[in-house]
Chains A and B, each alone.
Chain A
């Protein structure tokens, strides 16, 4: 796996730190230490990505706030509802019957969560992976067919 140089240096630095700490604590048990180091390396990758994300967002927002003009108007402060003027406040009550729509949306939302990691590994998984995902999506679609035929999307 190719890692970006900065990330790689960060990882190596942290891994060395753990290794040195571990060495000092356990003394002769070096093999054990090495395993622990290897184990934590995955977390260091996650942490590095997280740190970069936070820093990037902070950087963009702070630089933008320094150089952009600031002229707020009531129309600009309105919450965005796809171009339509908002009706009522954000805390207004919603009909309970919307939960079915939310539920059906969520199923396909979560499906996307499964598809992303699958897409990254698709080349290694090959045809087997493709078929498995098609079966998965087909079963979810059948669930949607069942829900529609049962009339849950009808508003009576």
Chain B
């Protein structure tokens, strides 16, 4: 009856065990931080292996599991794989922050892992109730992560703002779920579109429900006009974890949005497609224009993430045909964002809330490695050929064109061209501008160097030869 297929929740169980063991070992034995690293990365690596196993099994045998609460399919498995990689990279970048706080460091690690669990639930959910549950597990952990620097006013502001607005968005999402239930009588994502509800598909209640679900998830992925929190929250959070916060929420938020809209509401695509296109257009314009005026790299990256939310959404306007383009874009963008914020953490310190652009002047001489990684990330975000950003943009634009949204693609091209200005401005600061005062030397940890090298290699590899990843994402479709 319940169909308890444990292979489908293997990665979630592995990471959950990691959290429990980590916290229990921490309060009973008070071990060295080396042990924290062993437990957290051990659980992430075993979760990664189990996610690969799930991927292999789901290819032949996709099915709803646990009383139709979760979905065992390539979509879930691929999402878990990517989320675990991003969590591991995020932890590597954040590790100095963890080690510096002997009393609460383990909690930060546990919160990052808990966020990952919530996000994995979000991509695997087969029931709107589970979507909400995953959303809340992830969001509540993220609110606490945002306020991790307790003594910083900006960090407190970020946590309160994120919590209040995030709870409001969750409530909006939940109301949308309730209206969908009122309109169709079911919460199962696959059953909503089923034949037994064919007579009820055009009721206004259902359409309002879909709208509210899009608003709720649009908030979580920081799409305009629901982006107001993003700059303040990403600015206030400790630089070490900002990349993970941003990338994780984007991956799982867009995955959930794609699954719900494409699987449940494909019949109503004519209604939500144009609405999504408007949100995408608004995000691109608002994100790009506001990013130009920023003088702080963290804030600029926050606005650029709003613009990227618009680009990613462009893939969805055509429905299911754009899912592989969406996956490609969101995965490569997640790596870029972790890389860019990783450089910010290295330059301004993992616990900092500010990262003024003038700190980056002359970085090319002080630290050629960081300068190279930062420039590569900027080029990839701008969508320059031979980086993963170009292949990603190409994919989402093609998906929108095939769906007939030519105006959206034209707007996106203009936004990309304008975006080039502020991405290149960072590179100019790094390599061309002259230092007026002596800047402090930059020291980075081995973990950070490893994480940044990984994202740089992946960004170039997927840019030069996107075929392998494209093959994989074309199999990562919802059941």
Contact = CB atoms under 8 A, between A and B. Distances in A.
Given A35-B185, A149-B28, A142 B23 contact: yes
Nearest to B27: A149
Contact of B27 (A32, A35, A125, A145): A145
Interface string B460-471: 000000000000
B199 A31 contact: yes
A146 B4 contact: no
A145 B185 CA distance: 41
B24 A146 contact: yes
A150 B24 CA distance: 11
Interface residues of A, number: 14
Contacts of A125: 2
Given A128-B2, A128-B4, A139-B20, A150 B27 contact: yes
11 contacts: A29-B199, A32-B199, A39-B185, A128-B2, A139-B20, A142-B24, A145-B27, A146-B27, A149-B27, A149-B28, A150-B27
Interface of B: 1-2, 4, 20, 23-24, 27-28, 185, 196, 199-200
A150 B1 CA distance: 41
Nearest to B184: A39
Contacts of B1: 124
B4 A145 contact: no
Contacts of A31: 199
Contacts of A145: 24, 27
A107 to B, nearest CB: 13
Nearest to A149: B27
A146 B26 CA distance: 9
B346 to A, nearest CB: 31
Interface in A9-54: 29, 31-32, 35, 39
Contacts of A35: 185, 196, 199-200
B101 to A, nearest CB: 14
Interface string A140-154: 001001100110000
Nearest to A125: B2
A135 to B, nearest CB: 10
A146 B1 CA distance: 36
A35 B27 CA distance: 55
A32 B28 CA distance: 61
Contacts of B27: 145-146, 149-150
Contacts of A128: 2, 4
A26 B2 CA distance: 38
A146 B23 CA distance: 7
Contacts of A124: 1
B28 to A, nearest CB: 7
A125 B4 CA distance: 12
Contacts of B185: 35, 39
A68 B20 CA distance: 57
Contacts of A142: 20, 23-24
Contacts of A146: 23-24, 27
Interface string A93-136: 00000000000000000000000000000001100100000000
A125 B185 CA distance: 24
Contacts of A150: 27
A31 B199 CA distance: 9
Given A145-B27, A146-B24, 8 more contacts: A32-B199, A35-B199, A35-B200, A39-B185, A124-B1, A142-B23, A149-B28, A150-B27
